[in-house]
């Protein structure tokens, strides 16, 4: 009798599991530190040695394992693929490894850039030539290192759009009739998903990845780029994109049954829900329909955001879908002004805002061990390890800052927070939990020679010193609300307008 009961429970468990897989809902939330590795960073910084490609890739994965990332989102495409695809052209198609630097493949590239491009393409070719299937090796290597492996697809990459002869592009991206309309500039030659041919092109790649490889999930990266429809056609586009996403979900459900484990779906969308919706990226509907398991709300590359509206996202998505806040590697508080690659303190402040905002995970984009954000290896590993939880990031010095949106609503007359107009300004900036008693707090302003009055949640900050063109104030820690509802108020002491281009708050343990 006991054996029959055990067998029944086992069968019931399987039935429930397959029901979960078929519905597209994950049994557990996706948590921790999620890391996106783009399709070329591994290949583009130094020549790979013949016979050593596999070894080099393993060393690359070892660094990520040492940084204790929870999941690796391995990007396999831009406008071509970095593996030998049957559905799309590979980056090295048309390249002659024995030919000169001025071979036809490189002719559209400026002469001064050809050697760099050749190294990148040759490394991809060499990896394939040596029998290393890049996505398969990454997936297997991740599982060996206890990292969840995902494959990420860029859904409308527009790099090198000014040069349609560039070998970065495949044939589809040289057909003007498939481009978006009524949008000048950088995004004018993005593909228009209103065309079935465009949707089929991506669906074929997704189907191939699911048939050939065994990831834990597939990510559709709509932030490269989010402009999927002609200007003015976004609402109609949403009605097209959601059913198409349903087709993708069916592919993942079938893969879940073949592989014997859930294959999840993630989408990367703009940080503001209303902006995502205005572009046809209706993530709340996708969540309600059970199409997605993870939504990553994030800025574009121009600047890190310290105030992604994660509580609002949670309300819109519900509790079944995992939510991550995305970090970029560039910090530019005001347009056409000061910028820098993020420091560990910047990253810690943004990650703190993500964790204290109620997200399930922090998602890193462009945080590459070879290039961005130029941290030394020990700093890179130590910082990433700490970003993976609220408890660990709370131990790091952190910096919060007022930044701007790079994306706006159609027709919106957006005024960035910095520089403000007039002699006073107020900013809402979530500062996370109150730091320990022995820590120090500072307000840092770029305000020229002015020393305006500063308060946080009504508690005054005291001017301390001028340093490197900045005005620095001591901030009592009791000023921090602790619930993310923090307000910074700045007013000119003499009532005269002044130019304010940076507003930062820094917390640090005693030295």
Task: Convert the pLDDT of each residue in 87-98 to its tens digit.
Answer: 999 999 999 999
Does the pLDDT of residue 488 top 70, yes or no? yes
Cα(429)–Cα(329) distance, integer angstroms? 19
Cα(267)–Cα(103) distance, integer angstroms? 39
Q: Please choose, from the candidates 387, 311, 399, the residue with its C-alpha nearest in 3D space to the C-alpha of residue 349.
A: 399
Assign residue 99 the CATH number of its domain. Answer: 3.20.20.80
Residues 344 and 391 in one domain: yes
| Contact present, 316 and 322 (Cβ < 8 Å) | no
Q: Please choose, from the candidates 497, 340, 507, 511, the residue with its C-alpha nearest in 3D space to the C-alpha of residue 429.
A: 507
If pLDDT is split at 50, 70 and 90, which confidence band does 8 have? Answer: very low
DSSP string, 473-504: EE--GGG--SSS--EEEEE-TTS------EEE
| Contact present, 95 and 56 (Cβ < 8 Å) | no
Reduced to 3 states, what is the DSSP secondary structure of residue 273? helix
Residues 430 and 350 in one domain: no
Residues 274 and 138 in one domain: yes
Residues 211 and 329 in one domain: yes
Q: Give a yes or no: residue 311 inside a domain.
A: yes
Q: Give a yes or no: residue 76 inside a domain.
A: yes
Q: What is the pLDDT of residue 370?
A: 83
Does the pLDDT of residue 20 top 80, yes or no? no
Q: Give a yes or no: residue 500 inside a domain.
A: yes
Cα(138)–Cα(212) distance, integer angstroms? 13
Percentage above 90 pLDDT, the chain: 87
Cα(134)–Cα(340) distance, integer angstroms? 32
Does the pLDDT of residue 1 top 60, yes or no? no
CA 209 to chain centre: 21
In tens, the pLDDT along 251-308 reads 999 999 999 999 999 999 999 999 999 999 999 999 999 999 999 999 999 999 999 9
Residues 352 and 449 in one domain: no
Q: Give a yes or no: residue 407 inside a domain.
A: no
| Contact present, 418 and 503 (Cβ < 8 Å) | yes
| Contact present, 77 and 124 (Cβ < 8 Å) | no
Q: Give a yes or no: residue 230 inside a domain.
A: yes
**Count of the separate structural domains present in the chain:** 2
Strand order in the sheet with 453-456: 398-401, 502-508, 440-446, 470-474, 459-467, 453-456, 487-491, 424-428
Residues 385 and 494 in one domain: no
From residue 137, alpha-carbon distances to 120, 211, 215 in Å are: 19, 16, 11
Residues 190 and 286 in one domain: yes
Last residue of one domain, picked from the residues 362, 397, 432: 397
If pLDDT is split at 50, 70 and 90, which confidence band does 27 have? Answer: low
Residues 432 and 300 in one domain: no
Q: State the virtual CA torsion across 90, 95, 98, 99 in degrees, nearest 10.
A: -170
The CB-based long-range contact list for 112-115 (8 Å cut-off, 24+ gap) reads none
SS (H, E, C) 177-228: HHECCCCCHHHCCCECCCCHHHHHHHHHHHHHHHHHCCCCEEEEECCCCCCC
Cα(155)–Cα(202) distance, integer angstroms? 7
Q: Which domain holds residue 366?
A: 22-397
Cα(385)–Cα(111) distance, integer angstroms? 41
Does the pLDDT of residue 13 top 60, yes or no? no
Q: Please choose, from the candidates 204, 194, 175, the residue with its C-alpha nearest in 3D space to the C-alpha of residue 88.
A: 204
Average pLDDT, whole number, for the chain? Answer: 93
Range list of H helices, 295-452: 310-317, 344-356, 377-387, 390-393
- CA angle (473, 455, 415) in 5-degree steps: 100
Please compute the mean of the pLDDT values over residues 187-195 and round it to a whole number.
95
**DSSP code for 81:** B
Cα(436)–Cα(315) distance, integer angstroms? 30
Q: Which residues contact 167 (CB under 8 A, 6 or more apart)?
A: 91, 94, 95, 105, 106, 108, 109, 117, 121
If pLDDT is split at 50, 70 and 90, which confidence band does 177 have? Answer: very high
Of 83-87, 162-166, 202-206, 503-507, least confident by mean pLDDT is: 162-166
Cis status, amide bond into 247, omega within 30 of 0:
no
Residues 261 and 320 in one domain: yes
Q: Please choose, from the candidates 333, 373, 267, the residue with its C-alpha nearest in 3D space to the C-alpha of residue 34.
A: 267
pTM metric for this prediction: 0.94
Does the pLDDT of residue 486 top 80, yes or no? yes
Q: Give a yes or no: residue 6 inside a domain.
A: no
| Contact present, 190 and 227 (Cβ < 8 Å) | yes
Residues 469 and 332 in one domain: no
Q: Pairing mode, if any, of strands 487-491 and 424-428? A: antiparallel
Q: Give a yes or no: residue 334 inside a domain.
A: yes
Last residue of one domain, picked from the residues 397, 432, 450: 397
Q: Please choose, from the candidates 165, 178, 141, 157, the residue with its C-alpha nearest in 3D space to the C-alpha of residue 59.
A: 141
Q: Give a yes or no: residue 104 inside a domain.
A: yes
Q: What is the pLDDT of residue 4?
A: 43
Cα(380)–Cα(324) distance, integer angstroms? 21
Residues 87 and 192 in one domain: yes
Q: Which residues contact 9 (CB under 8 A, 6 or more apart)?
A: none
Q: How many CB atoms lie within 10 A of CB 449?
A: 8
Q: What is the pLDDT of residue 405?
A: 93
Q: What is the pLDDT of residue 382?
A: 96
Residues 175 and 242 in one domain: yes
**DSSP code for 108:** T
Q: Which residues contact 162 (CB under 8 A, 6 or more apart)?
A: none
Last residue of one domain, picked from the residues 397, 432, 467: 397
């Amino acid at each position: 009798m006991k054996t029959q009961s055990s067998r029944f429970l086992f069968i019931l468990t399987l039935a429930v599991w397959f029901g979960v897989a078929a519905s597209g809902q994950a049994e557990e939330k996706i948590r921790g530190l999620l890391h996106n590795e783009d399709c070329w960073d591994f290949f583009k910084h130094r020549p790979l040695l013949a016979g050593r490609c596999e070894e080099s890739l393993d060393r690359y994965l070892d660094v990520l394992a040492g940084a204790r990332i929870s999941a690796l989102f391995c990007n396999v495409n831009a406008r071509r693929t970095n593996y030998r695809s049957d559905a799309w052209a590979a980056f090295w198609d048309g390249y002659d490894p024995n030919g000169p630097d001025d071979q036809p493949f490189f002719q559209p590239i400026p002469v001064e850039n050809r050697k760099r491009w050749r190294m990148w393409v040759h490394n991809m070719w060499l990896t394939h030539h040596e029998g290393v299937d890049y996505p398969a090796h990454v997936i297997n290597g991740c599982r060996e290192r206890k990292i969840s492996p995902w494959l990420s697809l860029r859904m409308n990459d527009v790099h090198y759009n000014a040069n349609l002869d560039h070998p970065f592009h495949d044939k589809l991206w040289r057909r003007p009739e498939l481009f978006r309309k009524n949008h000048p500039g950088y995004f004018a030659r993005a593909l228009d998903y209103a065309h079935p041919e465009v949707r089929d092109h991506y669906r074929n790649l997704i189907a191939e990845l699911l048939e050939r490889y065994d990831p834990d999930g597939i990510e559709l990266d709509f932030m490269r780029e989010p402009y999927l429809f002609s200007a003015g056609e976004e609402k109609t586009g949403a009605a097209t994109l959601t059913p198409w996403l349903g087709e993708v979900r069916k592919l993942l459900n079938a893969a879940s049954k073949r592989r014997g484990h859930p294959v999840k779906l993630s989408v990367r969308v703009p940080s503001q829900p209303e902006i995502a919706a205005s572009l046809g990226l209706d993530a709340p509907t996708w969540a309600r329909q059970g199409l997605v398991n993870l939504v990553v709300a994030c800025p574009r590359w121009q600047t890190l955001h310290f105030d992604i509206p994660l509580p609002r996202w949670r309300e819109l998505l519900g509790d079944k879908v995992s939510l991550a806040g995305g970090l970029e590697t560039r910090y530019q508080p005001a347009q056409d002004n000061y910028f820098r690659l993020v420091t560990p303190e910047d990253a810690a402040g943004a990650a703190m805002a993500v964790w204290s905002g109620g997200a399930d995970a922090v998602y890193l984009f462009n945080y590459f061990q070879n290039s961005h954000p130029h941290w030394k290896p020990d700093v890179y590993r130590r910082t990433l390890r700490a970003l993976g939880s609220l408890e660990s990031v709370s131990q790091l010095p952190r910096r919060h800052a007022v930044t701007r949106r790079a994306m706006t609503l159609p027709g919106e007359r957006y005024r960035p927070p910095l520089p403000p107009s007039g002699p006073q300004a107020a900013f809402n900036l979530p500062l996370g939990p109150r730091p320990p008693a022995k820590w120090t707090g500072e307000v840092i302003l770029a305000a020229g020679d002015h020393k305006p009055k500063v308060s946080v949640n009504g508690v005054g900050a005291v001017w301390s010193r001028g340093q490197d063109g900045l005005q620095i104030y001591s901030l009592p820690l009791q000023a921090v609300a602790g619930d993310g509802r923090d307000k910074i108020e700045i007013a000119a002491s003499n009532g005269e307008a002044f130019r304010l281009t940076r507003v930062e708050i820094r917390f640090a343990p005693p030295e």
